[in-house]
Structure 1
Amino acid sequence: MDYLPKLNLFINGHEFNYKFFETLECVSKTWSQREAAKRLGVSHAVLNRRIRDAEDKLGKRIVETTGAGSGLTDYGLEILQKYQEYMQRLQGREIPVICGGHISSGLMEVLSSEYGLESHVYRTQDESAIQLAQRDMVDILTFDDPVQAFMRDLDFTPVAYDHLVLVSGGGYTPKSMDDINGMSFVEVPGSSQRLAWNTLDENGVDYRVVELVKSPYEALKRVQKNEDLYTFLNSSFAGGSNVLENETKHIISLVNLNPENLVLKDFIEFVLDEGQQIIRDEGFEPL
Structure 2
Amino acid sequence: MKYYPKVSLIIEEHTFSYKLFEALENVSKTYSQRKAAQELGVSHAVLNRRIKEAEERFGFKLIVATGAGSELTDNAKEILQKYRKYTHRLKDREKLIICGGYTSSRLMETLTSKYGLNAAIYRTSDKNAIHLASLDMVDILTLDDPVHAFIQNLDFVPIAYDHLVLVSNVKKHHNINELNGKKFVEIIDSPQRLAWNTLDDNQIKYKLADEFKLPYDALRFVQKNPEFYTFISSSLWEGSDIIKNETRHIISCVICNKEDERINDFLNFILTFKGQQLVEECGFESVR
Q: Same fold (TM over 0.5)?
A: yes
Q: CA deviation at 1:152?
A: 1.8
Change (3 A) 1:229 1:56: farther
Partner of 1:91 in structure 2?
91
Q: CA deviation at 1:87?
A: 1.4
Give 4+ residue runs of structure 1 displaced > 4 Å after superposition.
none
Q: TM-score, normalised by structure 1?
A: 0.93
Partner of 1:257 in structure 2?
256
Q: Which moved more, 1:236-245 or 1:69-78?
A: 69-78
Unaligned runs of 5+ in 2: none
Partner of 2:59 in structure 1?
59
Partner of 2:159 in structure 1?
159
Q: CA deviation at 1:250?
A: 0.3
Matched, 1:194 2:193: yes
Q: CA deviation at 1:89?
A: 2.2
Question: For residue 276 of structure 2, what is the amino acid of its counterpart?
Answer: Q
1:118-267 matched pairs, under 5 angstroms: 118-168=118-168, 170-267=169-266
Q: CA deviation at 1:158?
A: 0.7
Give the match's secondary structure for 1:161: strand
Partner of 2:75 in structure 1?
75
Partner of 1:21 in structure 2?
21
Give the match's secondary structure for 1:173: coil
Change (3 A) 1:181 1:69: farther
Q: CA deviation at 1:107?
A: 0.3
Partner of 1:40 in structure 2?
40
CA RMSD of aligned residues (A): 1.8
Query: How many matched pairs?
Result: 286
Question: For residue 31 of structure 2, what is the amino acid of its counterpart?
Answer: W
Could you tell me how far apart the structure 2 residues matched to 1:147 and 1:85 are? 33
Could you tell me how far apart the structure 2 residues matched to 1:181 and 1:276 are? 37
Q: CA deviation at 1:154?
A: 1.7
Question: For residue 271 of structure 1, what is the amino acid of its counterpart?
Answer: I
Unaligned runs of 5+ in 1: none
User: CA deviation digits over 1:108-139, x for unaligned, max 9?
Assistant: 11001111111111111111111111111111
Could you tell me how far apart the structure 2 residues matched to 1:3 and 1:102 are? 34
Could you tell me how far apart the structure 2 residues matched to 1:3 and 1:57 are? 31
Q: Identity percentage over the alignment? A: 55
Change (3 A) 1:194 1:61: farther
Q: CA deviation at 1:66?
A: 4.2
Give the match's secondary structure for 2:245: coil
Could you tell me how far apart the structure 2 residues matched to 1:112 and 1:60 are? 49
Change (3 A) 1:36 1:150: same
Q: CA deviation at 1:67?
A: 4.6
